[in-house]
Amino acid sequence: GAVVSQHPSWVICKSGTSVKIECRSLDFQATTMFWYRQFPKQSLMLMATSNEGSKATYEQGVEKDKFLINHASLTLSTLTVTSAHPEDSSFYICSAIDRGRADTQYFGPGTRLTVL
């Protein structure tokens, strides 16, 4: 149980285009999901908290107009990187809270984004 999927697992796009990443909780409902970014050999950096049916809460320094988050259902949150640039290339990871398991966050497998 407590499986989170993420799609796509990797994506390459041209500079200036937009990319959408999906995060789904497969076997539980997630009112709260999170989006992280991870640079090589570093820990996870929280970008934003996604709450179902409401606006996302962004961490300081994260551009909300660049990283659009939509949490339209209890099992799906999406992150759209708009007008992507090479500096947006990174590994993006989502997680979802399972309230039935002591508020534990379960993580998706991550998406590697490369912007050319």
By the criterion CB under 8 A, which residues form the site for another protein? 2, 32, 34, 38, 42-44, 46, 49, 91, 93, 95, 97, 102-107, 109-110
Q: How far is the CB of 32 from another protein (least distance, A)?
A: 5
Cis peptide leading into residue 8 (ω within 30°): yes
Q: How far is the CB of 83 from another protein (least distance, A)?
A: 26
**CA-CA distance, 37 to 11, in Å (whole number)?**
15
How buried is residue 10: exposed, middle or buried, by Cβ count under 10 Å (0-12/13-18/19+)?
Answer: exposed
Judged by CB, which is closer to another protein: 14, or 43?
Answer: 43
Judged by CB, which is closer to another protein: 19, or 108?
Answer: 108
Judged by CB, which is closer to another protein: 3, or 12?
Answer: 3
Residue recorded with tokens 């989170």: 4
Does residue 31 sit in helix, strand or coil? coil
Q: How far is the CB of 16 from another protein (least distance, A)?
A: 27
